[in-house]
Amino acid sequence: MPKLIFEQIAHNLLKGKKGIIFGALDDKSIAWRTALRCVEEGAEIVLTNAPIALRMGEINKLAETCKAPVIPADVTNMDDLANLFNKSMEHFGGKIDFVHHSVAMGMNIRKGRSYTDLDYDFNHKTFDISAMSLHRVLQTAYKLDALNEWASVIALSYIASQRVFPDYGEMADAKALLESIARSFGYHYGTHKKVRVNTISQSPVKTTAGGGVKGFDGFMSYAEKMSPLGNATADECASYAVAMFSDLTKMVTMQNLFHDGGFSFTGVSKPVIDQMEK
């Protein structure tokens, strides 16, 4: 059986906590790395993804490593989400302490359509899967009273929600909506039950999904040169998620948290200038 990562620096930050991880497809995905990291820090988890993704991916390998059940759920289907939370609570014997939302699909991007030539049926599906799914997840948990007090919910975002990256297309709008939902629902869940909701705006990572964006390799190189600390890796993002799920960050909510090596606040860097002057 594969060994878990980060064994040498585990601190049991999530000992006794129980969580649901959405979106682990293969070992390149941030959700996959987060699942491993959460278990390494003492958590028990349930894994979930859309039925088609379960057929295409390798999630059963992850489930075996993490000793976690896999419960299929289409994030656009409210019955599926209710079933997911109910079965997860049955499995854990109680309520849930954290949720990791790592779900996105740019339908127009997949079909090769530019931002100025959107198919609006595809666009609606993009928003439903990539952004409104967070609202559906939160609303389902809220109505079922599925989360413990001081539970933590994280969704993955990207700086294109706030800056223009031409080839990111409709996904920029979807991420902006995702961040707005985290703020708005974060207020209601916070006042209702002290549940915190945040987004992590992560460096570009060459996942199976991210690699489908036009010009992705060039942009990863650019981001690396622009970021004082370099690009944050998927494993580093997983560690940040662990910190956000832990009790060390109990008073952080409704935030879009940049985890990008400083890219988001760098106007220009010397490596980029040097490259342009060649």
pLDDT in tens, 223-266: 999 999 999 999 999 999 999 999 999 999 999 999 999 999 99
Answer yes or no: are the C-beta atoms of 152 and 97 closer than 8 Å. Answer: yes
What's 151's domain CATH number? 3.40.50.720
End-to-end CA distance of the chain: 49
> How many domains is the chain partitioned into structurally?
1
- State residue 55's pLDDT score: 83
Q: What is the pLDDT of residues 41-69, one digit of tens each?
A: 999 999 999 998 888 779 999 999 999 99
Categorize the per-residue pLDDT at 1 as very low, low, confident or very high, splitting at 50, 70 and 90.
very low
Find the DSSP H helices in the chain: 30-40, 51-56, 59-66, 78-92, 107-110, 120-127, 133-144, 170-193, 216-226, 234-245, 270-276
Q: What is the pLDDT of residues 97-124, one digit of tens each?
A: 999 999 999 999 999 999 999 999 999 9
Is 249 part of a structural domain of the chain?
Answer: yes
Structure tokens at 180: 């707005």
The model's pTM is: 0.93
Is 2 part of a structural domain of the chain?
Answer: no
| Residue 119: count of CB within 10 angstroms of its CB | 14
Is 261 part of a structural domain of the chain?
Answer: yes
Instruction: Indicate if the alpha-carbon torsion angle 256, 260, 262, 264 is positive or negative.
Output: negative
CA dist 192 → 138, 148, 160, 185 (Å): 12, 11, 31, 10
Question: Which amino acid is located at 224 in the chain?
Answer: E
Is 170 part of a structural domain of the chain?
Answer: yes
Q: What is the pLDDT of residues 162-216, one digit of tens each?
A: 999 998 999 999 999 999 999 999 999 999 999 999 999 999 998 766 666 667 7
Residue 236 falls in which region: left (phi positive, over 0), alpha (psi -120 to 50) or beta: alpha
Range of the domain at 89: 7-276
Structure tokens at 1: 């059986």
Computed over every residue of the chain, the mean pLDDT equals 93
Is 1 part of a structural domain of the chain?
Answer: no
Structure tokens at 187: 């207020």
